[in-house]
């Protein structure tokens, strides 16, 4: 490919004073007079880039016909494949241009019934008022079938540039009576995430009435809620919103203990550390050190993490480390030590603190718990590295309380969260003969692109657990989340020095299918769970000259598909109980294609290059204790 450089020079030849009589009172009069005198037609022009209209060349059929052509690729069985993600990106531009009536025609067409969920994915990603109105008119949020409304809200929650009208309509929905608790939770969490995205692209969001209306809605409803689940719904919405103005309200609920404190502190954790001021630090210290009352271990851990991330960490880290000396909970000490070790590997400030002889001692840094924090490099690239981390919080006796597997894109200045899969369990101590006041439950939490999705519960209560055990329903894979989600959607026009306009477009999609199963044996006193996260991504971009006399374009597409299996084996036959976590990924093939084409008058030139990159399959490394337990459990199993 040839690189052509242009150089322009402007030289002043002379000066001439213009007769003011030639000028008119307005720009239009002046141009008219000068045009008559010079014999050259002069027109008013602007430097603002305006797109020119082009004749359609690809996918030029009406939208309804295009949907019919791509129908087989939009079916549910194609989800989490590259074919599904690529189709989503291809159709997205056409959906951008569609009217409300065109979209309603597609939604109401009975021939499209089996692909309606995927159509709703596209409509939510479109992010136009016309598409949003069409979806609201089609969907029934008050009915018994909540699958389609939830699917639409899921896609909407990860959008990048929502409009104020979308927030207003979601708020109106939230004010209506929605009897289904799961759908209402999803709606409130989506409203929070959409509000967060809206504020990111509007610097003066504090002056916008709609932002205050949503915050007041959450605040007023929280005060009126009498049941725990009702309060949790609105707190989860505030967690996705993550607005600094809600910190005082979140602190109020952080004082109320679990389960409110866990969500409230997680919401503060999503915000910039600069908002952790002295008032917040004071409460965090109160919670971590249990000054007024005993706190849940997860609440104490979150408090410690926030203290470590604050600007006051210089005098906080040594106090936290010294607290391990008298700690009666080795799991908390072990977990926080893992977090500190991870921070010291990336932050010189923490490294200097740990050089103190007072801190660097066996009784502070050596703990007997099984909890662990692991962070390793997944893949390295030019300017961006991909890291995976595994956090495991255990309770006494070797029971797994909470785990999270995170994948993040990082460079020296920034960090982008990709996804997180978490497992949680409460009240399982009663099954192993230990005292446990909490109700027995277990479930999964998922975070996509920084947005928290409604928790998925495997079972709630001993009765429901025993029902799964006797019927075997839990051992069958159940799809928790499916859909095509918007990964990126960016469009920009740049005026070059020679006057030509470059039209830049980048679009990306993520197609996922997350399923889970759990098999529990009361007789053998063990359990086996599998979380399969199947996914595919497709990214397409182009740069073309926006001109009527020359056609020049460079385009690329990038994509791949794979899955990650998250397997947990738990044995509670004998004490100490043993937990084995395994994470594996098969070989991954990434396809990268570049197409360059130029056309000027009768001359045409085109070049295409296709490449494939292979990433070998792997099993992810965790901590040493997990490896030991896996060796024992797998040896017994096989």
Tens of pLDDT along 460-473?
A: 666 665 555 555 55
Kindly report whether the peptide bond that precedes residue 476 is cis, defined as omega within 30 degrees of 0. no
Q: Which of 293 and 460 is assigned the larger pLDDT? A: 293
Helix (H) or strand (E) holding 487: strand 478-495
State yes or no: pLDDT of 169 exceeds 60: yes
Q: Which of 9, 7, 49, 42 is nearest to 27 (CA)?
A: 42
The pLDDT, as a whole number, for residue 247 is: 95
Q: Does pLDDT of 4 surpass 50?
A: no
pLDDT at 1: 36
Task: Please answer whether residues 251 and 220 qualify as being in contact, where contact means their C-beta atoms are separated by less than 8 angstroms.
Answer: no
Lowest mean pLDDT among 54-58, 194-198, 343-347, 411-415: 54-58
pLDDT band at 271 (very low <50, low <70, confident <90, very high): very high
Three-state SS for 61?
coil
- Name the region of 392 (left: φ>0; alpha: ψ -120 to 50; beta: rest): beta
pLDDT value at position 71? 92
Best-predicted range by mean pLDDT among 196-210, 336-350, 423-437, 583-597?
583-597
Name 511's bridge partners: 484, 536
Contact 138, 108 (CB under 8 A): yes
- Measure Cα distances from 225 to 220, 259, 347, 597 in Å: 9, 15, 43, 61
> What pLDDT is recorded for position 387?
86
Please compute the mean of the pLDDT values over residues 267-273 and round it to a whole number: 92
d(CA 38, CA 54): 34
Mean per-residue pLDDT, 84-107: 93
Per-residue pLDDT for 352 more than 70?
no
Least-confidence region, from 201-215, 312-326, 454-468: 454-468
Confidence category of residue 2, pLDDT binned at 50, 70, 90: very low
Short-list 489, 472, 583, CA closest to 532: 583
Q: What percentage of the chain has pLDDT greater than the value 70?
A: 86
- Distance between CA atoms of residues 514 and 405, nearest Å: 14
pLDDT of res. 212:
92
369 vs 331: CA distance, rounded Å: 4
| pLDDT above 70: residue 428 | no
Strand ranges in 197-277 using DSSP code E only, listed in sequence order: none
What is the average per-residue pLDDT within 318-341? 84
Region 347-353: mean pLDDT is: 67
DSSP annotation of 468 reads H
Lowest mean pLDDT among 243-252, 280-289, 582-591: 582-591
> Which residues fall within 8 angstroms of residue 55, CB to CB, at 6 or more apart?
none
Q: State the sign of the Cα–Cα–Cα–Cα dihedral 129, 133, 135, 140.
A: positive
Peptide bond into 521 cis (omega under 30): no
What would the two tokens of residue 280 be?
């917040």
The residue with tokens 């209306």 is 213
With a cut of 70, say whether residue 6 has pLDDT above it: no
**Helices and strands, counts by H and E, the chain:** 21, 15
Give dist(CA 115, CA 108) in Å, integer.
12
Is residue 353's pLDDT more than 70?
A: no
Using alpha carbons, list the distances in angstroms from residue 522 to 111, 460, 469.
47, 17, 8
Compute CA 220 distance to the chain's CA centroid, rounded to the nearest angstrom.
28
Question: Tens digits of per-residue pLDDT, 532-554?
Answer: 889 999 999 999 886 767 788 89
Give just the sign of the alpha carbon dihedral 127, 128, 133, 139.
negative
pLDDT computed for residue 442 by the predictor: 76
pLDDT (average), residues 320-326: 81
């Amino acid at each position: 490919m040839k690189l052509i450089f242009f150089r322009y020079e402007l030289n002043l030849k002379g000066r001439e004073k213009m007769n003011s009589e030639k000028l008119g009172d307005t720009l239009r009069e002046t141009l008219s007079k000068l045009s008559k005198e010079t014999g050259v037609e002069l027109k008013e022009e602007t430097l603002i880039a305006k797109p020119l209209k082009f004749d359609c060349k690809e996918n030029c059929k009406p939208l309804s016909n295009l949907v019919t052509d791509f129908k087989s690729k939009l079916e549910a069985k194609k989800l989490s494949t590259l074919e599904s993600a690529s189709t989503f990106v291809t159709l997205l531009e056409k959906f951008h241009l569609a009217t409300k009536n065109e979209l309603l025609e597609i939604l109401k067409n009975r021939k499209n019934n089996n692909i309606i969920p995927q159509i709703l994915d596209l409509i939510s990603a479109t992010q136009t008022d016309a598409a949003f109105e069409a979806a609201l008119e089609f969907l029934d949020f008050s009915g018994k079938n909540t699958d389609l409304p939830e699917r639409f809200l899921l896609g909407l929650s990860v959008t990048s540039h929502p409009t104020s009208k979308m927030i207003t309509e979601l708020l109106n929905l939230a004010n209506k009576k929605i009897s289904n608790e799961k759908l209402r939770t999803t709606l409130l969490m989506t409203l929070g995430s959409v509000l967060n995205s809206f504020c990111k692209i509007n610097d003066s969001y504090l002056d916008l009435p709609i932002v205050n209306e949503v915050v007041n809605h959450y605040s007023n409803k929280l005060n009126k809620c009498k049941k725990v689940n009702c309060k949790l719904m609105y707190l989860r919405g505030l967690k996705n919103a993550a607005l600094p103005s809600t910190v005082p309200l979140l602190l109020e609920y952080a004082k109320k203990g679990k389960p409110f404190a866990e969500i409230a502190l997680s919401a503060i954790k999503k915000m910039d550390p600069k908002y952790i001021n002295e008032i917040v630090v004071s409460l965090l210290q109160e919670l971590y050190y249990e000054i007024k009352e005993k706190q849940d271990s997860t609440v104490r851990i979150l408090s410690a993490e926030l203290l470590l991330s604050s600007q006051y960490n210089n005098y906080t880290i040594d106090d936290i480390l010294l607290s391990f000396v008298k700690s009666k909970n080795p799991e908390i000490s072990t977990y926080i030590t893992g977090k500190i070790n991870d921070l010291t590997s990336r932050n010189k400030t923490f490294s200097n603190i740990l050089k103190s002889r007072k801190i660097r001692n066996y009784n502070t840094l050596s703990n007997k718990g099984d909890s662990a924090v692991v962070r390793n490099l997944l893949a390295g690239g030019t300017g961006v590295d991909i890291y995976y981390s595994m956090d495991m919080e255990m309770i006494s006796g070797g029971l797994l309380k909470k785990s999270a597997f995170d994948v993040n894109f990082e460079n020296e200045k920034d960090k982008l969260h990709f996804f997180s899969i978490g497992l949680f369990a409460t009240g399982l101590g009663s099954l192993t003969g230990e005292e446990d006041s909490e109700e027995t439950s277990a479930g999964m939490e998922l975070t996509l692109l920084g947005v928290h999705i409604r928790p998925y519960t495997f079972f709630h209560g001993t009765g429901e657990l025993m029902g799964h055990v006797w019927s075997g329903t839990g051992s069958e894979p159940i799809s928790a989340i499916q859909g095509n989600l918007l990964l990126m959607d960016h469009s920009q026009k740049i005026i070059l020095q020679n006057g030509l306009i470059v039209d830049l477009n980048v679009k990306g999609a993520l197609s996922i299918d997350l399923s889970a199963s759990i098999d529990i044996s009361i007789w053998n006193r063990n359990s086996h769970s599998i979380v399969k996260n199947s996914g595919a991504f497709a990214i397409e971009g182009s740069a073309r000259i926006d001109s009527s006399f020359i056609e020049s374009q460079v385009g690329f597409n990038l994509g791949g598909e794979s899955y990650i299996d998250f397997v947990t084996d738990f044995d509670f036959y004998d004490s100490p109980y043993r937990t084995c976590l395994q994470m594996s990924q098969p070989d991954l093939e990434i396809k990268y294609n570049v197409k360059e084409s130029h056309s000027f008058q009768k001359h045409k030139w085109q070049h295409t290059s296709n490449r494939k990159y292979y990433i070998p399959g792997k099993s992810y490394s965790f901590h040493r204790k997990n490896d030991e337990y896996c060796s024992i459990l797998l040896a017994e199993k096989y």
